[in-house]
Structure 1
Amino acid sequence: MALETSPESPAPLRQISLLIGQWIGRMGAVWIEAEITELKRRPGICFLTLRDLEAKISIQAKCHVSVLDRLATPIVEGARVVVQAKPSFWETNGSLALDIREIRPQGEGALLAQLEARRRALAAEGLFDPRLKRPLPFLPQAIGLITGKDSDAERDVLENARKRWPAVRFEVRHAFMQGPQSATTVIESLRLLEAGGEVDIIVIARGGGSLHDLLPFSDEALIRAVAACTVPVVSAIGHEPDTPILDHVADHRASTPTDAAKTIVPDVADELAGVAQARQRAAHAVRRLLDHEAAALSALRTRPVLARPQVLVDAQADVVAEAVERSRRALRHRLDRERDAVSHHLARVQALSPLATMQRGYAVAQAPDGSVLRAIDDVPDEFTVRLADGRVVAHKISTQELT
């Protein structure tokens, strides 16, 4: 309602501020198209500055952090958006602000949101799993290159790769690098190179471009074809800031076509330098081993046992000679003892021998059968008399019994 005022009866500023706040408070939520020129994130809340797309009009806005977190792709400064917001008026300082309830990216922001949703869906299928990444061959026999005909990307890959390794061989397949037919021609070239069975690695290369120019390299059919390819694939699309979905599924991502050339083949100068260094290290190691072994041999040769080996033999010879002499002395001593014992036993045997008795003048009469005659009744007509030095055959003439 109209407020009656005059120079004589002015309204206080607080009343005007209150009325403005009440009028703005009656407004509901509205959809606003604008550009984000400033974005500050604080714990639990975000502060934004929105600017009109044509007029130089800016207004402050705020929202809960969950509003931004719900977005598929992060919102950055400079993004074009459509927001649902409710205007609010701060009566204390007379400033107008917007309480944002929903944000929807527009233009490239909406396109980025679609690409992010596609990327997340493909990632959920496991197509970007690092365990599926295949290692690149150290020195491929042949390299497949998919790129635009007579493009800077083709020249960068070929020239830089041949500078690094002059003998490298390429199988080049030209395809559209932008436009509606781009993904289809790239997929066809990929299948031809894979089916040929001659290439060890495939490079998909394109120079930088706008988001729309690089859309074919986020095509779902192309992503699935690269994931199913049995040959390692290198993505060299755009420049460092450009990250199409192809970069996530490829076995290796190169920031530029030149970087791809440096990745797929080694530098022959570096390899020759490495070989030379390896030879030097090997030669040094062999010389060091030989010096070590020579020093060890010299140390062994200076030891007494090797310098004069006969010393050990002489020492052992003395030990053996001393042992032989001890053995001889012990044997002689033992023989002497046993000789004395034999002599003693012989003397006893001789003392007890009947022959010794015969030598003292006794004789033994024996019958023809060898038995000793002990009585006159046992004496036959013919008998033998055993003397100390022989026998005498005797005939019985008569007998005389002793009384």
Structure 2
Amino acid sequence: MTWNPDYNPPTAQRTSKPLPRLASETTADNPWPVSLLSEKFYTAVERWPSVWVAGQITQINTRRQGSAYITLRDDQQDIAMEVNGFGRFAAAAAPFVQGDRVIIHGKPNVWMKRTSLSLRGDAIIAAGAGGSLKAMIDELRKKLKGEGLFDADRKKPLPEFPHCIGLICAPQARAEGDVITNVRLRWPVVGFKVTHVHVQGEQCPSDVVAAIRQLDADPDVDVIIVARGGGAFEDLIGFSDENVVRAAAAAHTPLISAIGHEDDWTLLDLVADLRASTPTDAAKKVVPDVHEQMQLIQVNLDRMRVRIDATVSNETRLIEGYANRPSLTQPLTMLEPHQRFLDDARTRMRIGLTRILDDASLTIEKAHASLTALSPQSTLDRGYAVVQCADGHVLDDADKVKTGDQLTMTLKHGIVVSEVKTVTKE
């Protein structure tokens, strides 16, 4: 876009006076509109030549396909600039990460909507990572990983309901307010022990190490949060210090790392028991939500009531079933089977005894008949007589008597005493 000397602002911005052509001609009564000044910046920058520039990547975003946005920082001074590019430049920038030193070719550019200056890149190459901070951190990361400091089985579980949280952050830092405010919104009863430290610069590692050890030794502290807001890669370098990592690994108290934003990373994130993407995220992960817990309690209370009601109802129905049983409403019915058993037994016993008596009577009658048939009386009844000698012996042989002996004869009816007149022997 180039400057048009015949430029006229929109109708709403037009004045009765013509706009000055030069900046030196503007006055309070006849100023330039913002759009015109932005266009003049754009026109001036367009005349600047392309340039090769070297620096370190502190932020890079290539998530949107076909575009790349980079923050490039000077190697020596705290000066940075924005670089953006598209197409082939974006594809070439995709492999790079925070901390890489690169050389970029591009042309200065003004985005008129915000009148912001940036470098429109068209080529990017690595500047050599031999002495970069990222290379040193990568070497330290490999060393500590080899010692097992980042192993998952070393991670300690966080307390479910902490009573006291140890917070390590910068004094009057936004991160401190974010953590405390969000934690107390979620779990108001929790307490804090805050330790202020330098979160960048030479004093940062020693301060953080001392704070971790101090809070770890405090028996009241249930969990430690190390929090810092976002920043350039080298601003966060103190949290990748070897002493800080080893202090975090040696701590017995669970530790949460909440350094920078989601895209930022430090070695403390790898050794921490939990890595939070931001200080606010750490607040959400360190304590439960009181409202969720209340809802959970209410849900469980409702379940308990439903189960108790169901149990009571089942027991009530069971008791009602027992109460309505005939054994309780008509207890005599319990004796009916036994009474029937006794009656049947009595009947069977009577029948059995009758049969035994009948059989015995029949046997007696048969024996009586047999005795009657075999008795001497039966012989007498048939007309025979029993003859007895004087000594009472039954006479069965004529040789046993002689003439003149007295004999007694028993007949069917009566007894006859006679004297022997004649004895005849056959």
TM-score by length of 2: 0.57
1:152 maps to amino acid: R
Change (3 A) 1:118 1:338: farther
Q: Does 1:249 align with 2:271?
A: yes
Q: Distance in 1 between matches of 2:132 and 2:336?
A: 102
- AA aligned to 2:102 is V
Is the alpha carbon distance of 1:199 and 1:34 closer, same or farther for their aligned partners in structure 2, counting shifts above 3 Å?
closer
- Pick the aligned partner of 1:154 from 176, 190, 211: 176
Matched residue SS, 1:212: helix
Output the amino acid matched with 1:166. Answer: P
Are residues 1:206 and 2:223 paired? no
Q: Which residue number in structure 1 is paired with residue 293 of structure 2?
A: 271
* Candidates 325, 329, 351, aligned match of 1:329: 351
Residue 180 (structure 1) shift: 1.0
Spell out the pairing of 1:219-258 with structure 2 (5 A cutoff): 219-258=241-280
* Distance in 2 of aligned mates of 1:222 and 1:349: 132
Who is 2:308 aligned against? 286
CA contact (8 A) 2:99 2:133 kept: no
Partner of 2:45: none
The 1:209–1:274 alpha-carbon spacing in structure 2 relative to 1, beyond 3 Å, is same
Partner of 1:116: 138
Contact 1:232 1:251 in 2 (8 A): yes
- Select the residue among 149, 171, 175 that pairs with 1:127: 149
Is residue 172 from structure 1 mapped to residue 194 from structure 2 by the alignment? yes
Task: Tell me how far apart the structure 2 counterparts of residues 303 and 157 of structure 1 sit (CA, whole Å).
Answer: 67
Return 5+ residue gaps in structure 1 as ranges. Answer: 1-31, 40-52, 62-67, 84-97, 354-359, 364-403
Show the counterpart of 2:114: none
2:229–2:261 Cα contact (<8 Å) kept: yes
1:218 maps to: 240
Instruction: Go from structure 1 to structure 2 and tell me whether the alpha carbon gap of 1:117 and 1:271 turns closer, same or farther (over 3 Å shift).
Output: same
Task: Report whether the alignment pairs 1:197 with 2:219.
Answer: yes
Q: Match for residue 385 of structure 1?
A: none
Cα distance 1:127–1:79, how it changes in 2: closer, same or farther (>3 A)? closer
Q: CA deviation at 1:133?
A: 1.1
* Aligned residue among 87, 102, 119 for 1:81: 102
Query: Could you tell me how far 1:119 is from its partner in structure 2?
Result: 1.9
- Aligned partner of residue 138 in structure 1, secondary structure: coil
Confirm or deny: 8 A CA contact 2:261 2:278 kept in the other structure.
Answer: yes
Separation in 2, partners of 1:296, 1:351: 78
Three-state SS of the structure 1 residue aligned to 2:234 is coil
What are the Cα deviations for residues 128-154 of structure 1, in whole angstroms up to 9, with x where unaligned? 111211111111222211111221111
Alignment-mate amino acid for residue 273 of structure 1: Q
Q: Whole-Å Cα distance in 1 between the matches of residues 99 and 201 of structure 2?
A: 26
* Secondary structure at 1:139 match in 2: coil
Question: Match for 1:277: what amino acid?
Answer: V
Find the aligned partners of 2:97 and 2:370 in 1 and give their Cα distance. 136
Q: Is the 8 A contact 2:99 2:233 kept in 1?
A: no
CA distance in 1, matches of 2:216, 2:100: 41
Equivalent position SS for 2:195? strand
Q: Residues 75 and 336 from structure 1, CA distance in 2 versus in 1: closer, same or farther, beyond 3 angstroms?
A: same
State the superposition RMSD in angstroms.
5.4
Aligned counterparts of 2:309 and 2:191: Cα–Cα separation in 1: 40
SS of corresponding position for 1:239 = coil
- SS of residue matched to 1:329: helix
Distance in 2, matches of 1:312 and 1:113, equals 95
Structure 1's 241 and 348: CA in aligned 2 closer, same or farther, altered over 3 A?
same
Cα distance change on mapping 1:268 and 1:334 into 2, 3 Å: same
Q: Distance in 1 between matches of 2:198 and 2:305?
A: 54
Find the aligned partners of 1:286 and 1:34 in 2 and give their Cα distance.
74
Q: Indicate the percent of aligned positions where both proteins have the same amino acid.
A: 39
- After superposition, the C-alpha distances for 1:90-109 in whole angstroms (9 at most, x for unaligned) are xxxxxxxx9x9x955459x9
Letter paired with 1:161: V
Q: State how far apart, in whole Å, the 2-side matches of 1:78 and 1:120 are.
A: 16
Per-residue CA deviations over 1:49-101 (Å, capped at 9, x if unaligned) read xxxx99x9x9x99xxxxxx9xxxx95359964379xxxxxxxxxxxxxx9x9x
Q: TM-score, normalised by structure 1?
A: 0.60
1:320-378 CA distance string (max 9 Å, x none): 4223312321132124324544676688799999xxxxxx9999xxxxxxxxxxxxxxx
Name the SS for the 1:176 alignment partner.
coil
Q: Secondary structure at the match of 1:214?
A: helix
Tell me which residue corresponds to 2:164.
Answer: 142
Contact 1:104 1:110 in 2 (8 A): no
Aligned residues: 318
Q: Is the 8 A contact 2:100 2:134 kept in 1?
A: no
The one-letter code sitting in structure 2 at the alignment partner of 1:314 is E
Task: Label 1:82 to 1:281 Cα distance change in 2 as closer, same or farther (>3 A).
Answer: same
Find 1:163's aligned residue among 163, 185, 191.
185
Is the 1:82–1:105 contact (alpha carbons within 8 Å) kept by the matching residues of 2?
no
Where do 5+ consecutive residues of structure 2 fail to align? 1-51, 63-73, 75-80, 105-122, 376-384, 389-426
